[in-house]
Homo-oligomer: A and B are copies of this chain.
Amino acid sequence: MELVVVMRSTATADDKAAVEQRMADMGLAAHRADGEFRTMISAVGTIAVDSTQQLEQLVGVDRVIAVTQPYRLASRELHEADTIIDIKGIRVGGPHVNVIAGPCAIESRDLLFEVGKAVKDAGASILRGGAFKPRSSPYSFQGLGLDGLKLLAEAGNELNMPTITEVTDPRDVEVVAQYADIFQIGARNMQNFNLLLEVGKTDKPVFIKRGMSATITELLMSAEYVLSQGNHRVILCERGIRTFADEVRFTLDVSAVPVIQQRSHLPVFVDPSHAAGKRDLVPALALAGVVVGAAGVIVEVHSCPEKALCDGPQAVLPARFRKLMEELRQVAELAGHRVTAWGDKNSSHRRVESGGWMS
């Protein structure tokens, strides 16, 4: 790893020598450049995570610039090819585009099967449905819990679709693993490190949503928590960030998709539903996600959203979802990608080498 110490303009020769000495003590090679105003001392070697904060406090130091990113297993520097994850035969990542769809919350058996069948018929490859719902109000519907998990497993089996559901508590990891195929870590839990460690100890894929104010580095560090436990099946998801713009619930940061792809080999999805907060914006944002190169989208669908117990306003109706799937397929094909449910699942060439738009 590498870093650069920038000295204050008032730093003395002794201050600079002390920094070089401390670097030597840390086993780092120091390279010094004296400018008119500032001295910069670059350090290379095996740098411990906490070295930055310790060097920052030496007398005469203005700031320390970490040159290497703090994540390793998530980084494309050490793992150049796109990670492609096989989930019951569905391939996620690389040139494959997958659509995850279903109701926000599992409210009843009828609803789940009705919506599940609709999204399956339209071409979605993975079924979503929440059993443990994190709600900002303690008075809101909190999900069906275990009963919801069982319904989800039943629907997944019957429709022959892998399933994804949110886990919010380390104590629930075991039971969720019994019933669902993919763990979803919600935006509010992106830095719930104990939860990340717990799912990292399983062999199930983990779908991590970016926190509403998380930087991309922080998102990749959360992935690193899971990867560091030996679970390499991590999928990331941009779902909108909190900004001053209050016309939508969250500002979908589409540029995050190519930026993450440049830095990491992990697949990146987009969640247009939570970003928009309103169903009429969902199709446009879903298409924007795929056009910038996302490995897929996750969309909330409901057959009677005005009676939904959770986030009805952002749920797309089944008919609109069917149309959206066709639009997504067309856009993905333009980019040289394939929407999984229709495409050849065996293709594995890297997107950035495949004539995609980011080249």
Contacts and interface: CB of A to CB of B under 8 A. Distances in A.
A1 interface: yes
Q: What number of copies of this chain does the assembly contain? A: 4
Interface string A197-233: 1000000000000011101101001101100100000
Contacts of A174: none
Contacts of A222: 136
Most chain B beta-carbon neighbours within 10 Å: one of A2, A138, A169, A305: A138
Given A241-B244, A305-B57, A42 B42 contact: yes
B244 A255 contact: no
Contacts of A197: 138
Interface string A54-81: 1011100000010110100000010000
A357 B283 contact: yes
A300 to B, nearest CB: 13
A259 interface: yes
A37 B68 contact: yes
6 contacts: A2-B37, A54-B307, A56-B313, A65-B65, A136-B191, A245-B256
Given A42-B42, A171-B171, 18 more contacts: A2-B35, A2-B40, A36-B46, A38-B67, A38-B68, A49-B139, A54-B312, A56-B313, A70-B136, A168-B192, A168-B193, A216-B247, A241-B243, A257-B284, A258-B280, A258-B281, A284-B358, A291-B331
Interface of A: 1-2, 4, 6, 9, 29, 31-38, 40, 42-46, 49-50, 53-54, 56-58, 65, 67-68, 70, 77, 134-141, 168-171, 188-189, 191-194, 197, 211-213, 215-216, 218, 221-222, 224-225, 228, 241-248, 251-259, 262, 275-276, 280-281, 283-285, 287-288, 291-293, 305-313, 327, 330-331, 334, 357-358
